[in-house]
A and B are shown apart, each in its own frame.
Chain A
Amino acid sequence: GESVGLHLPTLSVQEGDNSIINCAYSNSASDYFIWYKQESGKGPQFIIDIRSNMDKRQGQRVTVLLNKTVKHLSLQIAATQPGDSAVYFCAEPLGLNSGYSTLTFGKGTMLLVSP
């Protein structure tokens, strides 16, 4: 049968606008979250993280908001630039059978910034 590709949600903005990328997570016990950015032809890069005892954390031009009540995470990018065009992933904890812990990644959102 025909294979269906993973269709990424896409957010298109104009340069200078503020962007908001959303992520819903599944495990109410998750206590740590990370946002990664993946530009074309590159691997994912760490942007910002947040622990569950916080509801907001700010970085340089980026802010992450955490709403544990509805299990929702958002990444806000101020004054979006063409260089911000990329796929953005949120990640939450993943327990391994070995007892270690690592991350599981969401499907991603593609951000397209027009000059």
Chain B
Amino acid sequence: AQSVSQHNHHVILSEAASLELGCNYSYGGTVNLFWYVQYPGQHLQLLLKYFSGDPLVKGIKGFEAEFIKSKFSFNLRKPSVQWSDTAEYFCAVWNSGGYQKVTFGTGTKLQVIP
């Protein structure tokens, strides 16, 4: 069974600091990788996704992620965070098994201090 690990459960940053959230997955086959964000009281929104091709993926709101196949990692980065980035971030894996099932990491709560 596939699993997703997010190493940081709670991150506190000051505005303008750089962000990197770690994500590792344990599935050896073809996977689609995602980062979702959940703002307080809101639903899951897609930040970015990787299916194939360029391992450096750019998403919305200045976020990017790098897929490193040899490390089974898909870390999320942002050069300069804003207070409005305060949210919970979920790494997720969708294995190409012919049906819809997303395996999520445990999430990282990001708090940005003005």
Do these two chains interact? no
